[in-house]
Structure 1
Amino acid sequence: MIPPVRRLAAVALSALLALGVTSLGGPVAAASASARTSSWVYSVTLAKTAADVQKVAETWKPDRLKKADSYSPATPGSQSSTSAGATTVPSPELTPAKATKIPLSVSPELPSKGSAARTMGKVFFRFGDKEYWCSASSIAAKNRSVVATAAHCAYDARQAKPADSWIFVPNPGPNGETPDGIYVGAAISMHEHWPGRGDYDYDYAFVTVHRGFIWVSKGGKLVMQDVGRLQDIVGGQGLAVAKGVGSHVTTFGYPAGPQPDGTRPFDGRKLLSCAGSTRWTVAPSLDLQYGVQIQPCNFTAGASGGPWLIDYQAGQGLGSLNGINSLTWNRDAKDGYDAVSSPNFTAATGEVYRHAAAVTTPANVT
């Protein structure tokens, strides 16, 4: 019989592996790695042409989106202080290697119409024949078409393959509604250490998306109707890197998975938040050397990829992205998760973002 603490560790490990056990494939041709614009950036093409977008769109018609709550909330797993050798590191002197370029700062942007942004939402994707989802947010960019999420919500580092049929739905309704459109992923931009090593210090991705659309009925058939570029419709969060720890952060997500004791306090239909000051943390078993953590926060699976915002203004719904939900933690190995962590956003994160913000997409996909 497995002792209680070791049983918790086994549950965490099985959750970590669950995301990558299914082979990948689907309606879009296999993604290909593009040339890197720097030694840090690894880009993977998802849907390149209007025809590719339409193939993905066919996967996510309203009848399938209505079943969204039955899909699996993706998660890389969780950590407990006993099972993963996790410790809190108080030293402010930790500096990840290669964080040498001038830090990037991007201002948040309101949508073209309206006085408040609506940037948070869910990403839906497939691994093989199974659907998954995560949390995500729109980020201000010169191409007005960038989504930030966790890298494990876009690319399976264990099998070195991207997710298939990837879309972003801001502000999804409880019955599959897409009031602000559906945005098909065009390309994933990541730090090379995620696809290369599965290093959780780099579990973030910036996904460039195509113009959005909604499904409308015309002549008894469903057709795609263009709604425009993502940032024009919902706005975009800013970006702040190289901030270290000690900042007050508000983190958002759509938690849905069970707590360690088997209870399910969340259903994934509501956008929830946690807030607190950041501190360093590490998880050697996941190669996390420079993690940033806030506690308390009882997020579960489904919150992965949700934004960490500093200087968040609730009235406008805007702040500056300083992290994403990467790992949930059960630090005391008791009944519930009590913390969440993000990779540390460094100057290298800014380089990955710059690549995503420069990707161009077709002017019309409908």
Structure 2
Amino acid sequence: MTPSLPLLAVTALVTGLLQAPGRDVSPVGDVVEHVAGHASETYWTPQRMARAVPIGLLGDLRKITTARPGAPSVLPAAPPGSVLPPVARAALPPAAGAVLAPAQAARQATGTTGTTGTTRTTGTSSTTRTRQAAAMPPATTSGTRWAAGGSVTRTTGRVFLTLNRVDFSCSASAVRSANRDLVVTAGHCVKDGAGDWAENWTFVPGYDEGRQPYGAFPARRMFVAGPWSRSGNDDYDVGMVAVDDLDGQHLTDLVGGQPISFDPPRGRRTYGFGFPADPPYDGERLLYCAGVPHGDPQGQTRDQGLRCDLTAGASGGPWLSGFDPASGRGALTSVSSFKYSNDHRTMYGPYFGSAVRDLFRTAERA
């Protein structure tokens, strides 16, 4: 595994379809597949979901004792209920992850000044434009609740899973695919690097304060890139899961799906969404970051970094480029993956290149 913090033989496709449940196969390219075992219908009770531990951005599920200076944190996994180690939590700046108050958000969006919030514009047409701008979410933020509605509120959801006998939560997004059943998340929300596959994996699109307006979709097949499965390489921290239909209805027929894009230009304005569940958040609401991502200054990955205060539980949340706040639609170009121990305010996400394209082409046919 590369020294970083995750938030976590080619065969014919027909061979994969004939494998017994639980066997790992690789239908196309360097892709590893796993036939999921279903959680019982009663496993994910509201109480169990509430107790699920957010998969950490600053902790690994395996204990690692050495790290190069400046490498992502390799602290041991925190005990259930406290993913960020106490020292890491104490090191977070007081404003980390703070949600903008509505008035603050409006001032940021409209360019208002002063304690009274008076705008710089005057006149009827200017007032109309100001009101329209105030209704739009900030285009640059390190952590704000998403209240603008649109498709992203339906396609983004929480993931609940069991890994190494511990119940965890992550974030994920429904995407457009040939099978109409595909969810994209972080690799470490599907498989613990070279370790175990997740069990009881379930996607809840549109999750909001405990509500499950579209139901819960259990996994049937899971996919990760070979470098993630073999060594937990952070450049490939992407997982894709084909889920069961719900009462005969495919996932994206019900909630829609974001398009996925490969080999995107770097440095494009990006919106990152997720359900952070470590303080100061509780995982109950959809939040987002937005800004222009940059390369990894540590030079340890090909990932891009986005100014973002979201905490553990946001792992696997979608990064959308070309995003339209009015419709809530954009192209999926990355997912939230990890943070460096010496920079808690930057979230990193893997670049969607040819390996992720192979992963998608395999998964969408499952």
Structure-1-length-normalised TM-score = 0.68
Match of 1:91 in 2: none
* 1:245 and 2:226 aligned: no
Match of 2:199 in 1: 164
What whole-Å deviation, never above 9, does each CA across 1:160-182 have from its counterpart, x for those lacking one? Answer: x210011100122323x321011
Contact 2:202–2:218 (CA<8 Å) still a contact in 1?
Answer: yes
Pick the structure with greater CA Rg.
2
Please give the alpha-carbon distance, in whole angstroms, between the structure 2 residues aligned to 1:83 and 1:298. Answer: 22
Q: 1:17 to 1:191 in 2, by over 3 A?
A: closer
Please give the alpha-carbon distance, in whole angstroms, between the structure 1 residues aligned to 2:340 and 2:296. Answer: 11
What whole-Å deviation, never above 9, does each CA across 1:142-195 have from its counterpart, x for those lacking one? Answer: 110000000000101242x210011100122323x3210111111111110001
Q: 1:319 to 1:127 in 2, by over 3 A?
A: same
Match of 1:142 in 2: 178
Please give the alpha-carbon distance, in whole angstroms, between the structure 1 residues aligned to 2:248 and 2:215. Answer: 7
Match of 2:241 in 1: 207
Task: Report how many residues are paired.
Answer: 270
* Structure whose residues are more often strand by fraction: 1
* 1:84 and 2:65 aligned: no
Shift of 1:77: 2.6
* 1:273 and 2:288 aligned: yes
What whole-Å deviation, never above 9, does each CA across 1:242-297 have from its counterpart, x for those lacking one? Answer: 1242111000011122xxxxxx211111110001112110657xxx42111112x1
Contact 1:252–1:308 (CA<8 Å) still a contact in 2?
Answer: yes
Match of 1:291 in 2: 303
Unmatched segments (≥5 aa) in structure 2: 9-19, 61-66, 73-148
Shift of 1:196: 0.7
Contact 1:282–1:289 (CA<8 Å) still a contact in 2?
Answer: no
Shift of 1:229: 0.8
Equivalent residue letter for 1:65: P
Runs of 4+ in 1 over 6 A off after TM superposition: none
Shift of 1:17: 9.3
Match of 1:221 in 2: none
Please give the alpha-carbon distance, in whole angstroms, between the structure 1 residues aligned to 2:297 and 2:313. Answer: 22
What whole-Å deviation, never above 9, does each CA across 1:55-91 have from its counterpart, x for those lacking one? Answer: 532322xxx2344222100125369x994347xxxxx
* 1:302 and 2:310 aligned: no
Q: Where does 1:212-361 land on structure 2 (aligned, <5 Å)?
A: 212=246, 226=247, 228-257=249-278, 264-281=279-296, 288-295=300-307, 297-329=308-340, 331-332=342-343, 337-359=344-366
Please give the alpha-carbon distance, in whole angstroms, between the structure 1 residues aligned to 2:339 and 2:6. Answer: 15
Cα RMSD (Å) of the superposition? 2.8
Q: 1:56 to 1:34 in 2, by over 3 A?
A: farther
Aligned counterpart for 2:214 among listed residues 180, 197, 211: 180
Please give the alpha-carbon distance, in whole angstroms, between the structure 1 residues aligned to 2:191 and 2:284. Answer: 24
Aligned counterpart for 1:34 among listed residues 19, 22, 25: 25
Contact 2:334–2:350 (CA<8 Å) still a contact in 1?
Answer: yes
The 3-state SS of whatever aligns with 1:344 is coil
Shift of 1:313: 1.6
Match of 2:43 in 1: 59
* 1:120 and 2:136 aligned: no
Percent identical residues:
29
Match of 1:50 in 2: none
* 1:154 and 2:135 aligned: no
Please give the alpha-carbon distance, in whole angstroms, between the structure 2 residues aligned to 1:204 and 1:17. Answer: 11
The 3-state SS of whatever aligns with 2:314 is coil
Structure-2-length-normalised TM-score = 0.68
